[in-house]
C-alpha cells in the first residue's frame, strides 16, 4: 500500500485538496483510505464520507498531536490496509511548526496557502523544508505577481520539492496532484520506518497538566528566554 503524509497549517485547505485528489484517483480505479489526526474535534470525516472515501479520525485530546500521530501510526496503517485501499493518506493537525510528520521512504506532501504572509514559508519549518511536494492553495485570491514571489520564497526553503498551485474548491490542479500520489512508494509496513525530523523534546510540568504559573512549578525540560538580550536570546535550563 502506498503511504502519503499530508501536513500544513490549520485552515490552509488540506482536507478539500485531499478529497478532490482522492476522488480523481478513485475515478482511475485507485482507492484511498484517509486517517485524520486532530486535537479536540474534527468534522472532516463528514467530507470524506460524503465523497465515499473510507476515513477514521483520531483525536489527541490533551496530548501533543504530533507525538500522538507517531505513537499510533502502526495501527492507523493497519486499519487502512484492512479497508483494501491502494493508498493510505494521513492528514495531520499541523499545529506545531517545529514538528513534521513526514517519514523517510513515504511521499511527503505539505499544503500552504497564499494568504499566510510572505514570511510563512520560512516560519513553517520542517513540514515544508522536508516535503517532496508543496501544494499552494488560495492562489485565486492574490495576484500573479504575489503568487510568483510566494513560490520563490517556498523554493528558498525547499530546493528539491515539486511545487503545484491547486484549488481544493474547484479541483484545479488536483488531478495532476493525484498523478503524483499514484506513484508514491509502495510500503509493506511502517514498523521501523524513521521520521524525517525529530519531534521536539516536550516533557515538562505543563505537559503533565500543570496549570500554575511560576518558576517553582516548572520542572523537567524547561527553556528560559533572556529578555533584553537581543533577538532570539535564550538560556537553557
What's the confidence (pLDDT) of residue 38?
87
Q: Which value, to the nearest 10 degrees, does the dihedral of the CA atoms of residues 185, 127, 68, 197 take?
A: 80
Residues contacting residue 206 through CB under 8 Å, at least 6 positions apart: 218
How would DSSP label each residue in 100-163? ---BTTSEEEEEEETTS-TTHHHHHTHHHHT-SEEEEE-GGGS-HHHHHHHHHHHHHH-SSSEE
What's the confidence (pLDDT) of residue 233?
46
Asked whether the beta carbons of 219 and 226 are under 8 A apart, the reply is no
| Number of Cβ atoms within 10 Å of the Cβ of 163 | 16
**Cα–Cα nearest to 77, from 193, 177, 182, 200:** 193
Domain extents in the chain: 2-181, 203-237
**Cα–Cα nearest to 121, from 143, 101, 147:** 147
114 Cα distance to chain centroid: 17
> Looking up cell 502519503, which residue turns up?
4
d(C-alpha 48, C-alpha 43), whole Å: 9
d(C-alpha 42, C-alpha 40), whole Å: 7
Superfamily per CATH, domain 2-181: P-loop containing nucleotide triphosphate hydrolases (3.40.50.300)
Per-residue pLDDT of the chain (237 residues; tens, 9 = 90+): 999 999 998 888 899 999 999 999 999 999 999 999 988 788 888 999 999 999 998 888 877 778 788 889 999 999 999 999 999 999 987 767 777 889 999 999 999 999 998 899 998 889 999 999 999 999 999 999 999 999 999 999 999 999 999 998 898 999 999 999 999 999 999 999 999 988 776 677 777 778 787 888 888 877 776 677 555 545 544
Q: Report the predicted TM-score, pTM, of the whole model to 2 decimal places.
A: 0.87
Residues contacting residue 192 through CB under 8 Å, at least 6 positions apart: none
Amino acid at each position: 500500500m502506498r503511504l502519503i503524509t499530508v501536513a500544513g497549517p490549520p485552515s490552509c485547505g488540506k482536507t478539500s485538496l485531499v478529497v478532490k485528489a482522492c476522488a480523481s484517483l478513485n475515478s482511475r480505479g485507485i482507492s484511498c483510505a484517509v486517517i485524520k489526526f486532530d486535537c479536540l474535534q474534527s468534522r472532516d470525516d463528514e467530507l470524506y464520507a460524503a465523497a465515499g472515501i473510507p476515513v477514521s479520525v483520531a483525536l489527541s485530546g490533551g496530548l501533543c498531536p504530533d507525538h500522538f500521530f507517531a505513537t499510533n501510526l502502526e495501527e492507523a496503517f493497519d486499519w487502512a490496509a484492512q479497508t483494501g485501499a491502494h493508498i493510505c493518506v494521513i492528514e495531520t493537525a499541523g499545529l506545531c511548526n517545529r514538528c513534521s510528520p513526514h517519514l523517510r521512504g513515504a511521499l511527503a506532501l505539505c499544503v500552504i496557502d497564499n494568504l499566510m504572509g510572505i514570511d510563512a514559508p520560512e516560519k513553517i519549518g520542517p513540514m515544508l523544508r522536508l516535503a517532496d511536494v508543496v501544494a499552494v492553495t488560495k492562489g485565486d485570491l492574490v495576484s500573479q505577481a504575489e503568487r510568483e514571489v510566494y513560490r520563490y520564497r517556498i523554493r528558498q526553503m525547499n530546493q528539491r520539492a515539486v511545487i503545484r498551485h491547486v484549488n481544493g474548491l474547484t479541483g484545479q490542479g488536483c488531478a495532476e496532484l493525484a498523478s503524483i500520489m499514484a506513484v508514491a512508494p509502495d510500503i509493506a509496513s511502517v514498523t521501523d520506518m524513521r521520521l524525517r525530523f525529530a519531534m521536539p523534546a516536550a516533557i515538562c510540568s505543563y505537559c503533565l497538566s500543570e496549570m500554575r504559573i511560576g518558576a517553582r512549578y516548572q520542572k523537567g525540560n524547561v527553556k528560559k528566554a533572556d529578555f533584553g538580550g537581543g533577538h532570539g536570546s535564550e538560556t537553557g535550563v
